[in-house]
Amino acid sequence: MIFFLKSYKIIIFLTFFQLFYLGNEAQFNKKLQILKGRIKSEKPQWLVFTYWGLNKIDIDSVFLKSGYNFINFKGLNTNLADENIYTLTFRGEIAQLWFHFDNDTITVDLDTEKPLNHIAFDAKKSVMGSPATIEYYERISWALKHFNKRIIGLKNKQDSIEDEYPRSSEINELDTKIKVIIKAKDDYYMNWAINTNFSCNAAIAIIELSFDKSDLSPYIWLADTLEKRFPKSYFVKEQVRKVRQNAISISQIASSGLAPTFELTNKNNQMVSLSNYRGKYVLIDFWASWCAPCIKEMPQTIEIQNKYASKGFKVLSISIDKDKQAWLKAIEKHQMQNLVNLHDEKGEAAKAYHVSYVPLTILVDPKGEIIGSNLHGEELEKKLAEIYNE
């Protein structure tokens, strides 16, 4: 993951949203999966039972009355080569619980007056018959408390300092601390992925990795190891494919030599080509209006553009937004007028540069050759200072 959101629930929901659409429903008629048990609801509300596979399927629902309710949901006849994923969604609580069917029957004893979020839900006391589900909640809860909570706290502190003292050395000190925690977080998830006996938990651990682009070897090793451990798991197979795709993208950018040319529209619907800037140093900056890290680093990118503009340096800011209006509003809101703002609506430039995440920057020399990638902030400024002999 390239960035952190400032809500535990949002972090988890987005992570699982991208994972559980990756299941497989090709094989049926082996096991009927059942979720049953008792639920104490503090208020009347709907409860929805959903299967997460190749397609999200709301299988059943029941209206809970205040007090004790008994449920007996029947899932799909699916193949248990993978631990299939189901959720219970409490409409009144705006809460969702995840269940990994490593067995054919899970029994629950739930109380909506107790926390139902991922950081506090006590699966060990509330879930019977699913070691995979219990392990999942214990691992995720521990990581949220010890890593995500600390990272968010440090990032919030960074933001408050930047508002008043944008050049403070404390910002860099906090950034160093964040990187140390992220490294520890990656080690934690790598360890979980390798040691878990449950394929869907291994896949979740892969997704939670921060993917340090400076050293890809641990991720390639992890992908190879898990593919051998869980050869029949569609969850793992899909995440392994993504890891390898990211690695290929990064290595191709690093070794591609001549920068692929492109022609995109600016905000005035005029066509602009990379070849227009031959003879200049150019930073190609892929971003999006919805990308928090992209927006966070934009003021520094603008500052660097202004600093080296007299030397002919140009930033080609390429938005991958599908919504043109969102892109145009972001340009105005974040005062990006001094950049060369281009819209890659069809994703053609992103495809040419193997973009699989944002922000992504590529530095191109006057001959049109790639001389650097993933340069941001101080790293970019240091590189330009070398180029312009400052």
Q: What is the pLDDT of residues 18-33, one digit of tens each?
A: 444 333 433 333 467 8
Cα separation values, 113 from 92, 93, 230, 295, 325, Å = 12, 10, 38, 38, 43
Examine the pLDDT at 350 and tell me if it is beyond 60: yes
Residue type at position 385: A
pLDDT at 4 over 50: no
Higher pLDDT, 37 or 8: 37
Q: Do domains 8-117 and 263-387 have the same CATH topology?
A: no
Separation between Cα atoms, residue 251 and residue 253, nearest integer Å = 5
Long-range contacts of 108-117, Cβ-Cβ distance < 8 Å, separation of 24 or more: 108/35, 108/36, 108/37, 108/38, 108/39, 108/71, 109/37, 109/38, 110/37, 110/38, 110/39, 110/40, 111/39, 111/40, 112/39, 112/40, 112/41, 112/42, 112/43, 113/40, 113/42, 116/90, 117/8, 117/9
Q: Could you tell me the sign of the dihedral formed by the alpha carbons of 297, 279, 328, 18, in that order?
A: negative
What is the structure's pLDDT at 103?
A: 84
Mean pLDDT (the chain, rounded): 84
For residues 63-72, give the mean pLDDT. 96
Mean pLDDT value across residues 162-173: 72
Burial (0-12, 13-18, 19+ Cβ within 10 Å), 335: exposed
* Every domain of the chain and the residues it spans: 8-117, 137-255, 263-387
At residue 23, the pLDDT reads: 39
98-147 pLDDT, tens digit each = 998 888 899 999 999 988 888 889 999 999 999 999 999 999 999 999 99
End-to-end CA distance of the chain: 35
Whether the CB-CB separation of 380 and 390 falls below 8 Å is answered with no
Residues 229-269 pLDDT 10s: 998 887 888 888 878 877 766 666 665 578 888 999 999 99
Question: Could you count the other beta carbons within 10 Å of the beta carbon of residue 67?
Answer: 11
Q: What percent of the chain has pLDDT over 90?
A: 48
pLDDT at residue 357, rounded to an integer: 75
Picking from 169, 138, 364, 367, the residue whose alpha carbon sits closest to that of residue 253 is: 364
**Predicted pLDDT at 249:** 66
pLDDT value at residue 267: 92
List beta partners, residue 62.
Answer: 47
**Joined tokens for residue 295:** 């927006």
Task: Give the side-chain half-sphere CA count within 13 A for 257.
Answer: 0
Average of per-residue pLDDT across 362-384: 89
Residue range 31-59, pLDDT digits in tens: 678 999 999 999 999 999 998 866 788 99
Q: Which residue has the tokens 């080690």?
A: 187
Would you state the pLDDT for residue 251?
Answer: 66
Q: How many CB atoms within 10 Å of residue 367?
A: 11
For residue 20, the model assigns a pLDDT of: 40
pTM: 0.65
Is the torsion defined by CA of 212, 217, 218, 219 positive or negative?
positive
Type of residue found at 95: A
pLDDT band at 390 (very low <50, low <70, confident <90, very high): low
For residue 328, pLDDT beyond 90: yes
Domain 263-387 classified CATH 3.40.30.10?
yes
Please give the CATH architecture assigned to the domain spanning 8-117: Sandwich (2.60)
